[in-house]
Structure 1
Amino acid sequence: MPTQAGPFDASMNLFGELMMAQAQGALALFGQMLPQAQPAQLADSSRTAAPSGDAAKWAEAAARLQALWTDFQVEQLARASAASPQLMDPTRWMEGAGTVLRQLPLANPEVQGKLWDDGLTLATAILGQFDLGSGKAQSPAELPRQDPRFADPSWRKQPFFALVHQLYLMVSEQVIGMAEGVEGLDAARKRQLVFATRAFVDGLSPANFPLTNPVALEKAIETRGESLVKGMEHLLSDLRRGQLTHTPAEAFKLGETIAATPGKVVHETPLFQLIQYSPTTDTVLATPLVIFPPWINRFYILDLNARKSFVRWAVEQGVTVFMVSWKSADASMADHVWDHYIAAQIEAVDVVRARLGVPSVHTIGYCVAGTTLAATLAILARNGEAEKVASATFFTAQVDFEDAGDLKNFVDDQQIEALGHLSPEGYVDGRYLAAAFNLLRGNDLIWSYVEKNYLRGEEHMPFDLLHWNGDVTNLPARWHRDYLRDLYRDNRLVVPDSLSACGVPIDLRRITTPCYIQAGREDHIAPPASVWKLTRFLAGPWTFVLAGSGHIAGVVNHPDQRKYQFWTNPEARDSLDQFVAGAGEEPGSWWNHWRGWLETIDAATVPAKGKRVPGGRGDRVIEDAPGRYVAMR
């Protein structure tokens, strides 16, 4: 794979250099000590008996490590000589970290004194549980702070590792507490400071570095340095790709193991392809369904494998399903704005109506495509065309962004302006968006993989959901900036006629279309309290369902999996708190509940024949599903 600029090249290079230095140090240390020492003296591992090995093995590992890093640096120099832009330099990264720290009272003598005193007290309590001569705990060490990152017993076996991770947790608590206690900032700045501080201290965890991670050291001893070499290979592979890897890309193939529900592409524009799926029942609902997935992700989140696929399940339920597959933005889409995506949704509705000869369609909008769907419904209503849409279902979608969660930490003027510098060709590299979403759950989606794949050299496990998460799409830069500014920052969508699209002012209060609104109880991207606010602007009937889990698992929950639960409360109309207080819990997936609701809109059925079967006799189609656009980078 050719080397390509990534969104955090220089900062990851800094991490690579630090890992390289520590890995070399570990190899040198063990190469010198292991011939004379018993492995248990170094690793003290009760799980593995680390072989002593010989110095030649360690020297070979060190040489391979150095060769890997040297080759990578040569590639970097070649890329720099080709005038490839460096998107984030180390100076700016350090300035960003310094900005966070300068806002905290770390220089205050009282704060420093408390940190010192608390640290000494903690160190005394921990070291008192060990026989410092042997380095063994007198009994299982009782540590005051627990954290999943340090659950492995190796963190408790030796005084150094017990002390270093406990001190880290103590300092982290106090530093984050300082951020939460800073006064004189407006609410938005305060949230940003706390978020940035938490991300900063998460990155400094001793679990993230070879010489302070006993599990990584044990693995290095067990493999005679091979795990550190393998970890460096993983790191350099990700640097070349410009993106953190969560799962092996070769484990999944479009149209075979993912996005495999049979169908045909029946319509295509420069912005989207429209897929129609082949029926599996003799009759189908007369009113077809058009799904609008978020354009910041690939559509196949709703068509993973057969055991998870919402698309396959809906087809099996006798629904004629159409799916929009958005094209990943390139330079030709530099001038695309919200109007283009709303016009595309209207076009998809009209194409399906004309193709099947039906007066209206059901629709689904997932996440940001749900936000756009709400605007589309308002425009259709203003134009006297509301009857084109029989119903609208919203998966974790927001229209009121006042309480939109941690993503609001990325939408101040400085960050919106920075997008212009990161998108010189008119589109935002999808790897930036992936990095931002990963930061929302940094320990789960960044640092745990750093530890497993870089420090321990473990291979990735195949996981279709994480493959989808890393299969990024680019966005038109102009539209992305408008979206962040007009919706997330200024919250204009809920102000009647403040925004317009396709020459039509948008007023959500005009929507009379029956709506089904689904939120995830643990959603950190579209918090349920924010999703609920859509109900405040609808003039027509609506049903609200709260699903267990979050932004993805709360939606992608096949009934056969028998996982999670959902809550309904048809009597609650005033607030989410009222809804939760009187909600009835039902086990499993909400999908069957939605299917029943769909029939309350229109239960009529028709035979599954003619153009209900895409690609049949006389039906001109473009290509097989999943189409070309989903594979474009």
Structure 2
Amino acid sequence: MVAAADIEGLAEHAQRWTWLAGKMQQMMMEFLAKESTDGVVLGPDPLGLVETWSKMATAAMTDPGRLAQLQAEYWRDAATLWQAFATPGEVKPPELPADKRFKGQAWSEMPAFDFLKSSYLLTSQYVLQLVGGLDGMDDKERQKALFYTRQFIDALSPSNYVLTNPEVLKATVESKGENLLKGTQHLLDDLQRGRMTMTDENAFEVGRNVAVTPGKVVFENRMFQLIQYAPSTANVHETPLIIFPPWINKFYILDLTPEKSFIRWAVAQGLTVFVVSWKNADASLADATTETYIREGFIVAIDAVLKGLGVKSAHVIGYCVAGTTLAMTLAFMAARGEADKVKTATFFTAQVDFSECGDLGVFVDADHLKAVKELSEGKGYLDGRFMATTFNMLRANDLIWNYVVNNYLLGKDYFPFDLLYWNSDSTNVPAKWHAEYLEGLYRDNKMIRPGAIVIDGTPIDLTRVHTPVYIQGGKEDHIAPARSSWKLTRNFAGPVRFVLAGSGHIAGVVNPPDANKYQHWTNDTLPETFEDFAATATEHPGSWWPDWIDWLTPQSGKQIPARTPGKGSKGGTLTAIEDAPGRYVRERAG
């Protein structure tokens, strides 16, 4: 017989869940009533996915024998998995890869969820094996098919749904559904701002606790502000350093907290450090192309520093797309007899040969290029939130689905993390430049063909660059793969040093020595291939920054009294305009 108290408890629970469902529905309806759909309406299949799936199906049927073999192997392993689940300890389950999405104890302690997780991993493994081995598609088609298949598989993970994630179910029961209510509010807030929140953004402010290395904006034009940092040593090397960060992100990735700041560290090594802070693109930069960035950006910044300090040359660094553009700039200067203005050039995770550019190559087919042009139509620039989503898709489990689970399903409070704050502080880019970059470099790979690119009437030829260069690649870089960064060594005519850093596109670069993290590999000779470099390189623990400064210092000239920002040589153009980090870096995308 059911006790009255039990009946009351059931009624209370039913009332609670009815209220919760109604409240979530009300929140959604209020949001939809308040927000109106605005912006570009793309076609029914803007990325050509239907065509891709069709090609995959056709390719799979061209080799029915292989398809039948994979199906047989899959059903064999699936049957083994079921037997291992039904008779624990008697049958060994198939070996499956470790996956951090399922690291919680509940996934292995509860048999039903353990089986669900294992079934998902087994099926994913075979699907990717099938798509990756399709013979009826060319390499680019297969790469695109594999990329979108991986996106589809990641989206279907049982960790992403309330009823198939034991940790979410537990949190839902314990909080009486408050996690879902809070998660719904997080979702609606993100829909309103047009991007996913990854961290507590109120915990950070540019100029307050990120981008705080002291200095002055000493020059500006419509493209950039030039920051000169205050010295921290009595004397400095005569040759200054100019850092060109990518304009698809903000420069302060190199100046996060003082402990992580490459800029602060470089200043402490006795260098006069300048950083270019790019203008966040708006309608005023609708005309900007690669040539604009070279002529009004790189060349102007280098000339301003040389004239302002009264020196003949400077060290320069180019990071990511700025490294690619720096390579063009060096070739442009060499062709015009001005190569001596750059003493050395350093490249952080940059590419010039895009034949092995990784998953980003997926986004340069005709369908995607058309979609990008439609998104920027009438504005002259591409919203940085679109770019951010594209890069997040390259690591969807870490940068998308992880936050779907934590923010929307578990309803967790946002954790303050400076790197994620920077990652969310996206930038707009000029539409003309973006289309030119994707089509001319990623699609047509023009940079490695002498004369294929012309800047201000001057044909570009990288083999005419004799400037000493230092090239850093990231072992796990998913944006500029290490093998692709290595290709820079084959395109310059001068002395080259290549260093492979542990980790990826960001952590591989931003790795201060005091952190004692990761490792790096060096080779005092320069082998012919990346494989030969990897096979013969020497591994060193920790950061590669000391190796770089040991390479740079002998080429940095004599010691002179430290320079005060904004007080350059007589007749120079460097004057203090405002305190670092300046106005441009505070402009938001949108």
Q: Is TM > 0.5 for Structure 1 vs Structure 2?
A: yes
**Relative to structure 1, is the Cα distance of residues 513 and 75 closer, same or farther in structure 2, using a 3 angstrom cutoff?**
same
Q: Which residue of 2 aligns with 1:124?
A: 82
* Cα deviation digits, residues 553-610 of structure 1 (max 9, x gap): 1110111111112121112342222222222222211111111211221331110145
Q: Does the aligned pair in 2 maintain the 1:104–1:179 contact within 8 Å?
A: no
Q: Does the aligned pair in 1 maintain the 2:216–2:565 contact within 8 Å?
A: no
Compute the displacement of 1:201 (Å): 0.9
Q: Which residue of 2 aligns with 1:471?
A: 425
Residue 632 in structure 1 maps to residue 587 in structure 2: yes
Aligned equivalents of 2:52 and 2:487: distance in 1?
A: 35
Q: Which residue of 1 aligns with 2:341?
A: 388
SS at match of 2:57: coil
SS at match of 1:230: helix
Aligned equivalents of 1:567 and 1:98: distance in 2?
A: 43
Task: Give the share of equivalent positions with the same residue, in percent.
Answer: 47
SS at match of 2:472: strand
Compute the displacement of 1:126 (Å): 4.8
Q: Does the aligned pair in 1 maintain the 2:279–2:585 contact within 8 Å?
A: yes
Aligned equivalents of 2:223 and 2:257: distance in 1?
A: 26
Q: Which residue of 2 aligns with 1:622?
A: 577
Q: Which amino acid in the other structure matches residue 523 of structure 1?
A: D
Greater shift after overlay, 389-398 or 524-533?
524-533
Aligned equivalents of 2:416 and 2:398: distance in 1?
A: 16
Aligned equivalents of 1:93 and 1:158: distance in 2?
A: 42
SS at match of 2:447: coil
**Relative to structure 1, is the Cα distance of residues 101 and 124 closer, same or farther in structure 2, using a 3 angstrom cutoff?**
farther
SS at match of 2:540: strand
RMSD of aligned C-alpha atoms?
2.8
Select which of 508, 512, 520 maps to 2:462: 508
Select which of 240, 243, 252 maps to 1:291: 243
Structure 2 spans left out of the alignment, 5+ residues = 1-5
* Cα deviation digits, residues 379-438 of structure 1 (max 9, x gap): 111100111111111111111111111111111122112211111111111111111111
Select which of 288, 303, 306 maps to 1:350: 303
Taking the TM superposition and a 5 Å limit, the aligned residue runs for 1:323-472 are 323-343=275-295, 344-424=297-377, 425-472=379-426
Select which of 29, 38, 55 maps to 1:70: 29
Q: Does the aligned pair in 1 maintain the 2:47–2:368 contact within 8 Å?
A: no
**Relative to structure 1, is the Cα distance of residues 611 and 160 closer, same or farther in structure 2, using a 3 angstrom cutoff?**
closer
Compute the displacement of 1:620 (Å): 3.6
Aligned equivalents of 1:143 and 1:264: distance in 2?
A: 61
Compute the displacement of 1:501 (Å): 1.3
Compute the displacement of 1:157 (Å): 4.0
Q: Does the aligned pair in 2 maintain the 1:104–1:182 contact within 8 Å?
A: no
Residue 583 in structure 1 maps to residue 537 in structure 2: yes
Q: Does the aligned pair in 1 maintain the 2:565–2:576 contact within 8 Å?
A: no
Calculate the TM-score normalised by the size of structure 1.
Answer: 0.85
Calculate the TM-score normalised by the size of structure 2.
Answer: 0.91
Aligned equivalents of 2:290 and 2:47: distance in 1?
A: 35
**Relative to structure 1, is the Cα distance of residues 605 and 178 closer, same or farther in structure 2, using a 3 angstrom cutoff?**
same
**Relative to structure 1, is the Cα distance of residues 33 and 87 closer, same or farther in structure 2, using a 3 angstrom cutoff?**
farther
Aligned equivalents of 1:123 and 1:557: distance in 2?
A: 42
Q: Which residue of 1 aligns with 2:3?
A: none
Aligned equivalents of 1:186 and 1:544: distance in 2?
A: 32
Compute the displacement of 1:161 (Å): 2.4
Compute the displacement of 1:118 (Å): 4.7
Select which of 150, 154, 160 maps to 1:198: 150
Aligned equivalents of 1:405 and 1:139: distance in 2?
A: 43
Q: Which residue of 1 aligns with 2:493?
A: 539
Q: Which residue of 2 aligns with 1:148?
A: 100
Q: Which residue of 2 aligns with 1:45?
A: none
Aligned equivalents of 1:595 and 1:213: distance in 2?
A: 49
Q: Does the aligned pair in 1 maintain the 2:304–2:574 contact within 8 Å?
A: no
Q: Does the aligned pair in 2 maintain the 1:572–1:582 contact within 8 Å?
A: no
Q: Which residue of 2 aligns with 1:103?
A: 56
Q: Which amino acid in the other structure matches residue 125 of structure 1?
A: Q
Q: Which amino acid in the other structure matches residue 128 of structure 2?
A: I
Aligned equivalents of 2:252 and 2:7: distance in 1?
A: 52
**Relative to structure 1, is the Cα distance of residues 265 and 381 closer, same or farther in structure 2, using a 3 angstrom cutoff?**
same
Q: Which amino acid in the other structure matches residue 79 of structure 2?
A: T
Aligned equivalents of 1:169 and 1:195: distance in 2?
A: 17
Residue 272 in structure 1 maps to residue 190 in structure 2: no
SS at match of 1:276: strand
Aligned equivalents of 1:252 and 1:139: distance in 2?
A: 54
Aligned equivalents of 2:494 and 2:47: distance in 1?
A: 52
Q: Which residue of 2 aligns with 1:175?
A: 127
Q: Does the aligned pair in 2 maintain the 1:334–1:477 contact within 8 Å?
A: yes
Residue 188 in structure 1 maps to residue 140 in structure 2: yes
Q: Which amino acid in the other structure matches residue 236 of structure 1?
A: L
Q: Which amino acid in the other structure matches residue 370 of structure 1?
A: G
Q: Does the aligned pair in 1 maintain the 2:310–2:569 contact within 8 Å?
A: no
**Relative to structure 1, is the Cα distance of residues 35 and 173 closer, same or farther in structure 2, using a 3 angstrom cutoff?**
farther
Select which of 254, 263, 270 maps to 2:215: 263
Compute the displacement of 1:142 (Å): 6.5
Residue 598 in structure 1 maps to residue 557 in structure 2: no
Compute the displacement of 1:57 (Å): 3.4
Compute the displacement of 1:221 (Å): 0.1
Residue 557 in structure 1 maps to residue 526 in structure 2: no
Q: Which residue of 2 aligns with 1:13?
A: none
Q: Which residue of 2 aligns with 1:226?
A: 178
Aligned equivalents of 2:502 and 2:12: distance in 1?
A: 51
* Cα deviation digits, residues 487-512 of structure 1 (max 9, x gap): 11111101011101122110001111
Aligned equivalents of 1:615 and 1:35: distance in 2?
A: 81
Q: Which amino acid in the other structure matches residue 285 of structure 2?
A: M
Q: Which residue of 2 aligns with 1:243?
A: 195
Aligned equivalents of 1:519 and 1:262: distance in 2?
A: 29
Compute the displacement of 1:526 (Å): 1.1
Q: Which residue of 1 aligns with 2:19?
A: 60
Aligned equivalents of 1:477 and 1:225: distance in 2?
A: 44
Taking the TM superposition and a 5 Å limit, the aligned residue runs for 1:11-30 are none
* Cα deviation digits, residues 146-174 of structure 1 (max 9, x gap): 43222222223444423332222222222
Aligned equivalents of 2:128 and 2:536: distance in 1?
A: 36
**Relative to structure 1, is the Cα distance of residues 516 and 116 closer, same or farther in structure 2, using a 3 angstrom cutoff?**
closer
Select the structure with the greater relative contact order (CA < 8 A; seq sep ≥ 6).
Answer: 2
Aligned equivalents of 2:182 and 2:90: distance in 1?
A: 36
Q: Which amino acid in the other structure matches residue 116 of structure 2?
A: V
**Relative to structure 1, is the Cα distance of residues 556 and 232 closer, same or farther in structure 2, using a 3 angstrom cutoff?**
same
Q: Which amino acid in the other structure matches residue 450 of structure 1?
A: V
**Relative to structure 1, is the Cα distance of residues 585 and 99 closer, same or farther in structure 2, using a 3 angstrom cutoff?**
closer
Q: Which amino acid in the other structure matches residue 356 of structure 2?
A: D
Paired residues, number: 573
Aligned equivalents of 1:614 and 1:73: distance in 2?
A: 57
Aligned equivalents of 1:207 and 1:33: distance in 2?
A: 33
SS at match of 1:313: helix
Compute the displacement of 1:62 (Å): 2.5
Q: Does the aligned pair in 1 maintain the 2:40–2:374 contact within 8 Å?
A: no
Compute the displacement of 1:85 (Å): 2.1
Q: Which amino acid in the other structure matches residue 552 of structure 1?
A: I
Aligned equivalents of 1:341 and 1:501: distance in 2?
A: 11
Residue 164 in structure 1 maps to residue 121 in structure 2: no
Q: Does the aligned pair in 1 maintain the 2:218–2:576 contact within 8 Å?
A: yes
**Relative to structure 1, is the Cα distance of residues 470 and 619 closer, same or farther in structure 2, using a 3 angstrom cutoff?**
closer
